[in-house]
Structure 1
Amino acid sequence: MTFAQRPLHAAPIVATLVLALAGCSSLEPDKIDYRSSGRGVSLEVPPDLTQLPGQSRYSVPATVTASGYQAGQAATAGATKTTVPNTIADVHYMRAGDERWLQVDRPPEKVWPLVRDFWLDNGFLIAVDNPTTGVLETDWAENRAKIPQDIIRNTLGKVFDSLYSTGERDKFRVRVERDAKGGTDIYITHRGMEEVYNSARRDSTVWQPRARDPGLEDEFLRRLMVALGVSQEQSKAALASASAAAAAAGPQARVVNQNGAPAIALSDDFDRAWRRVGLTLDRTGFTVVDRDRAKGIYYVRYVDPTIEKKEPGFFSKLFGGASAQLPAIQYQIGVQSQGNASLVTVQGSQGATVPESDVQRIIKVLADDLK
């Protein structure tokens, strides 16, 4: 809930200021700042590590000659021209319809630690860190930049800063996957929650899912490009160029009957269908425990969201509280090539048959996101 919504019985002076100065706030919607949410990790250098050998660049050499200086400058310029293009040319922003991802010409083993450090540097805690499956997921965090920087907050400073809240939380799932050429594809998907009143008296609130924000996904892909060696200007130009070239309407997905069971027909070749299904699984609450691209199978766990909402204390679990484990059923989501098109199917663990009602529910969830 926002600052004005939060009860302030213990702070009458603050409440008075709120009433007196309401309407003076200004919001910067394009600013993103999760570092000030109090959820991040301190990366300060310990005092005993401040004097590193690299600091010797300020020391004066014993002897310097004009010819030696010019030779050194020429060598530096040559090294710069050789190194910099190679550093930035191996990171590419890709977009096809509503799909966005980074393509990096480095193996996943070298990219993974850089991706992990990127999220820590941006103020997030890591909830899932599994390089084996290539899945990294942040904890829930608040974008503190959405809080109005008004007279009240500037006057009170950090004394009452904990009373302010946006009423929104975000988490991000990153999937790092080796491509056919030995490089790396990086996908980022967003999930959001919002705090809303659950009674007409407006005296209590609950947390509920809110819509995915593609803008946040794009911004963090751009920032990750910078962390991987691309300049700010080049990253912005890459996004603008790709957005302008993206197709106005993405490929269609339709539910069909395959051997008596519902399936999804995609007008995509296998490569794009595999990528799109993977992003959809990330967005819709599935947990990918393994995948076999050669066989076209995602091995997933899925918990019915209706069960999650009925579980006592579920939302407290989302934000750090303890909770009992919910039953999760394992499925195989198959992606089969059919020439220039593809078919998406659902099977149980070990290829077992799944009850028709479960297949219909899962197919509907996937098809709604793929459309």
Structure 2
Amino acid sequence: MKRSAPAAILLATGILAGCSTSNPLEKKLDYKSAEPPKAGNSLEVPPDLTAPQIQNKYVIPTTGSASALANSNAAAAAQQAPAVQAAVTGNTIAVNSINNITMERAGTQRWLEVKGKSPAELWPVLKAFWQENGFVIKTEEPDLGIMETDWAENRAKLPSDGIRKLMETVGLGGAMSTPERDKFRIRLEKTANGTEIYFSHRGMYETFINEGKSDTMWQPRPVDPNLEAELLGRFMIRMGISEEQAKEAVKKTQVVADKPKDSIVGGTLNINDSFDRAWRRVGLALDRIGLVVNDRDRSQGLYFVKPAKGELDKKDEASSSGGFWSSLAFWKSKDAAEKANSSSPEYRIQIKEADSGSSTLVVLDKQGKPLSDSFAKSVLSKLQTELQ
């Protein structure tokens, strides 16, 4: 695709802005969601978008005299006031009364543990948090505790130089952009004591695909665990924790404890974690590698997954030429394609308690039979990497 401004300038912009601080909660973030994709734009948007909820926010005045109209509006306002006040008060309590919130870490993964709050109570606060940070919520599944943002650009990476100021002066500030986009998948897990919150990052980078540097293509960027931690820390602040407490929480999780590498033996991934811990960590790892969790059954240790719709629907030629899923969409291998009769195959990931402090993971087909083809091997390999 072609950029709205010279590609060389934009790529240089991204390089110049690449330097950022590694101190907790000091990254410069100014996200703005990408516009809906147009013809020729290879940034796919999942088709299963949630329709916006329509609310009657305004009172429709009744016909009649001016005094009757005033009385009608006053009565309606009085009727709405308690509900509005209750909503505001409830939101204040939900945010400011949170003291039992901690950040946990295992390998490159971090998550929050919020005691005394259910996923239903945290859901509206989470949604508001992402919207306040410049993201558009594209997918919402409260029953599964899953939320996904749209692709967004961190405009804080644009340099504040004379060129940018000049372009903004003449109304062309939007023409400047960085060659990077980010999106996040948010998952909530209900526990006996409250709720666990996971943020999983996925990134894209725009590169030239011809010698003339006139056309570009979006390629995958590595997952950024530090960016996940940054936003988790900011959400802690949103929940009422002080900035210093949040910084300390992020700082403590920067130290990674030594952990034996999980091994793959005969189509089984051996995880050096108890079932409870493995269950939580595998859920986040599945988000990172692009397998969407459609359902789960903790009692049987099952995650029901399928490839992310938006990326799965990309044209085969884009993938074969090194596009977005050339490295991530291992389910589009020939073995998987021959097995699946539909464009969206379904799989199961099963976790079982092996012995004290360890678990096993296997990949199953839709009927619950173990898989040992290239698809299963790719899943196990990528999960092994994410769980370190």
TM category (shorter chain) comes to 0.7 to 0.9
Q: State the SS of the aligned residue for 1:133.
A: coil
Report the Cα offset of residue 242 of structure 1.
Answer: 3.1
Distance 2:214 2:235 in 1: 41
Q: Which residue of 2 aligns with 1:133?
A: 144
Query: 1:176 aligned to 2:181?
Result: no
Q: Match for 2:274: what amino acid?
A: D
Q: Do the aligned partners of residues 160 and 250 (structure 1) sit closer, same or farther apart at CA in structure 2, a change above 3 Å counting?
A: farther
Paired residues in the alignment total 307
Query: 1:327 aligned to 2:327?
Result: no
Q: Which residue of 2 aligns with 1:102?
A: 112
TM-score (norm 1): 0.73
Where does the alignment leave 5 or more consecutive residues of structure 2 unmatched? 21-26, 37-51, 60-79, 83-92, 325-341
Q: Do the aligned partners of residues 214 and 348 (structure 1) sit closer, same or farther apart at CA in structure 2, a change above 3 Å counting?
A: same
Q: Which residue of 2 aligns with 1:34?
A: 31
Q: Do the aligned partners of residues 154 and 26 (structure 1) sit closer, same or farther apart at CA in structure 2, a change above 3 Å counting?
A: farther
Distance 1:113 1:311 in 2: 40
Distance 1:85 1:7 in 2: 45
Q: State the SS of the aligned residue for 1:230.
A: coil
Which has the higher mean CA deviation after the structures are superposed, 113-122 or 187-196? Answer: 113-122
Report the Cα offset of residue 94 of structure 1.
Answer: 1.4
Q: Do the aligned partners of residues 330 and 165 (structure 1) sit closer, same or farther apart at CA in structure 2, a change above 3 Å counting?
A: same
Q: Match for 2:387: what amino acid?
A: L
Q: More relative contact order in 1 or in 2 (CA 8 Å, sep 6+)?
A: 2
Bigger-Rg structure (1/2): 1
Where does the alignment leave 5 or more consecutive residues of structure 1 unmatched? 9-14, 55-82, 316-325
One of 347, 358, 367 as aligned partner of 2:364: 347
Report the Cα offset of residue 170 of structure 1.
Answer: 0.4
Query: 1:90 aligned to 2:100?
Result: yes
Q: Do the aligned partners of residues 129 and 311 (structure 1) sit closer, same or farther apart at CA in structure 2, a change above 3 Å counting?
A: farther
Counterparts of 1:16-95 in structure 2 under 5 Å?
A: 29=20, 30-35=27-32, 87-95=97-105
Q: Do the aligned partners of residues 361 and 194 (structure 1) sit closer, same or farther apart at CA in structure 2, a change above 3 Å counting?
A: same
Report the Cα offset of residue 207 of structure 1.
Answer: 0.6
Distance 1:347 1:85 in 2: 41
Report the Cα offset of residue 222 of structure 1.
Answer: 0.6
Distance 1:176 1:346 in 2: 23
Q: State the SS of the aligned residue for 1:300.
A: strand
Report the Cα offset of residue 212 of structure 1.
Answer: 0.9
One of 165, 168, 178 as aligned partner of 1:166: 178
Report the Cα offset of residue 370 of structure 1.
Answer: 2.5
8 Å contact kept, 2:306–2:344: yes
8 Å contact kept, 2:5–2:175: no
Distance 2:386 2:259 in 1: 12
Q: Which residue of 1 aligns with 2:354?
A: 338
8 Å contact kept, 1:102–1:185: yes
Q: State the SS of the aligned residue for 2:7.
A: coil
8 Å contact kept, 1:153–1:161: yes
Query: 1:6 aligned to 2:4?
Result: no
8 Å contact kept, 2:103–2:112: yes
8 Å contact kept, 2:108–2:386: no
Q: State the SS of the aligned residue for 1:157.
A: helix
